[in-house]
Amino acid sequence: RKFLTEKFYHKVLTLPQSYFDSKLSGKIINQLNRGILTINNFINMATNFMLPNLLQIILTVGLMLFYNVYIAMFTFALFPIYYYISKYSSEVWGKEEAKKNALDDKTRGRITEVISNIKLVKGFTTEKSEFDFAQKNLTKLNKIYAKQSRTFHIYDSFRNLSLQVIIAIINVIAFYNAYIGKLTIGEMVLIIQLINMARAPLFAMSFILERIQEAEQGSKEFFEIIDLPSTELFDDDYVCETIKNPKIEFKNVSFSYENSETILKNLSFELDPNESVALVGHSGAGKSTIVNMILKLYEATKGEVFINDQSYKDVPHQFVRHQIALVFQENELFSSTIRENVAYGKPDSTDEQIIDALKKANAWSFVSKLKDGINAEIGERGVRLSGGQKQRIQIARAIIKDAPILILDEATSSLDAKSEMEVQEALEKLTKNRLTIIIAHRFSTIQNVNKIIVIDNGVIVDSGTPQELAGRKGLYSDLLKY
Ligand code: ADP
């Protein structure tokens, strides 16, 4: 169990971002659990059942062979007949099982999603429709289950019928042989006993076949995931050097997501050391996609990205991400303590370093007031903190990581004036002497950047300093009006 879980978790962590774009997390967990359960059942069954039953079959048939060839042949014939009926029935059962598993994944995936978005569900009072959705699927699951059970019983009666008929034939042969004196009464009784003994391995055989089907269906997705190619290996002893004065260059980069149209179209630009650059544009223009490319979460479809003149194709993802600290929009925190969240990029940080980072991030003022200080638990995704507080914890986390590139995905919702000022002040300290890339949603915050790149529909439509752009007619001055 430990081995299987580790193997699975390790694999999941090495999968490309594109895998997670299309999968529900609850579904992945459900597939893990089912895979492990069915593989485990199978292994238990195999060790407990298979060997003793095999021995019993050999022994029974061997003994009968000794007394009477015909009886042995008939007894032996029971096995293939029983085998084929069981195999066919468990295949029919397996098809239904696959349907059941798919539906189960969908339902549990949704339940996990609902629980993690509980505020949204409550806010839109969709509890009833969510519950109905799950209930409908669970009823469907039960129906499939009932169908499986029905088919099982139908085939089972076939099996039993063939069993009874053959046993009856064998009994007749045994009686007949005893009657004509070929077998003694004692031998006849022994043979009848032996036939009865053959029933147990027969039943075991059908049981084994069913468990095989169950394991095959139940662990299908588990093995599919295990077989996916790992693109982001993480446990080779690769030591990343931190580069000084990083420079990022896009050369004729085009990109599309799986099954999407072309999102970035032949983009070329350069981000120089220590510059702060803002990416602006309508929502859906491709700003986050550019950041995803900078993070090497996806590979360019055409063209290349360079970091200090090294192509992204030639450097591992760890190297790129080692150079980057991220401050996301809002909720990207773990449910543990403030200490663990701040030290996330550098787990061996001392208390002094953590407190120092919190101070620089303007967060110490509220953290120091908490009962447990930096050991205070912040609840899942930081529910016990306000928006501005969460952002400042993230800023402290970026300060501790002290990477030469900073990516800032600015919050779309503005904070109240005081928190906003505190966050801005903290950010200014953080962006000094770093290449900073800001996905800007508000224009008040980017008046001091060195360069603005205006993106529209996956192409750069303009770039320049805020002053230059504000003075020209174009998308930027249009955006400014709102
Ligand atoms: P912005 O950050 O400028 O608002 P994005 O870069 O997030 O824009 O999105 C650009 C386009 O890419 C949008 O049309 C969006 O629908 C599409 N897109 C974003 N992420 C994915 C994804 N994982 N798979 C497919 N399409 C995506």
pLDDT in tens, 360-411: 888 888 888 888 888 888 876 666 788 888 888 888 998 898 889 999 887 6
Handedness of CA 313, 319, 321, 324 (dihedral sign): negative
- Report the distance separating Cα 367 and Cα 364, nearest Å: 5
Closest residue CA from atom 24 of ligand 1: 257
Q: Report helix angle 220-227 to 25-45, nearest 10.
A: 110
With beta carbons less than 8 A apart as the criterion, state whether 342 and 401 touch: no
Return the percentage of the chain with pLDDT > 70, whole number.
96
* pTM for the whole structure: 0.78
Residue 415 pLDDT exceeds 70: no
Residue 129 pLDDT exceeds 80: yes
Neighbouring-strand partners of residue 377: 337
Helix (H) or strand (E) holding 250: strand 248-256
Residue 294 pLDDT exceeds 90: yes
Q: What is the mean pLDDT of the chain?
A: 85
Neighbouring-strand partners of residue 267: 253
Ligand 1 lined by 52 (C-beta under 6 Å): no
Q: Which two tokens stand for residue 399?
A: 């300060």
Segment 121-145 shows an average pLDDT of 93
Interval 234-292: pLDDT, tens: 876 677 788 888 899 999 999 998 888 899 999 999 998 889 899 988 888 899 999 99
Closest residue CA from atom 21 of ligand 1: 257
Q: Which two tokens stand for residue 196?
A: 């009865």
- Atom index in ligand 1 nearest the CA of residue 286 equals 6
- Atom index in ligand 1 nearest the CA of residue 291 equals 6
Ligand 1 lined by 260 (C-beta under 6 Å): yes
